[in-house]
Amino acid sequence: GGAAEPPPKLVLDLERLSQVPSEKAGPLQRYAATIQSQRGDYNGKVLSIRQDDLRTLAVIYDQSPSVLTEQLIGWGVLDADARRAVQHDEV
């Protein structure tokens, strides 16, 4: 795509997220549940999150946003397209 293309949305697959063992996914599971609660958005199979939230989660997981994104793609929680969101973000 061209330089003017907007970054892709970060869309969490909540069904896959619930299947990842909580030793690994616990912080993200709690973070997503908090956003759902703040929005009153309880019935979705997916949850769109802010680019800023990925940065916050990277701090929580003590990883770079791109390494965390790869992990979430590996879990099936983020689409491979999310890579472009991070590339776009890491300047």
**Chain residues 11-50 in contact with ligand C2E, contact rule CB under 6 A:** 11, 35, 38-39, 41, 44, 46-50
Contacts of 13 (CB under 8 A, 6+ apart): 45, 46, 76, 77, 78, 79
State which residue, 9 or 16, has the beta carbon closest to ligand C2E: 9
State which residue, 70 or 79, has the beta carbon closest to ligand C2E: 79
Q: CB of 41: closest distance to ligand C2E in angstroms?
A: 5
Segments in the chain forming alpha helices (H): 14-19, 22-39, 51-60, 65-75, 82-89
Nearest C-alpha neighbor of 44 from the set 13, 10, 74: 13
Establish if 58 lies at the interface with ligand C2E (CB under 6 A). no
Question: Which is it for strands 10-13 and 46-49: parallel, antiparallel or unpaired?
Answer: antiparallel
Q: CB of 54: closest distance to ligand C2E in angstroms?
A: 9
Q: Where do contacts with ligand C2E occur on this chain (CB under 6 A)?
A: 9, 11, 35, 38-39, 41, 44, 46-51, 53
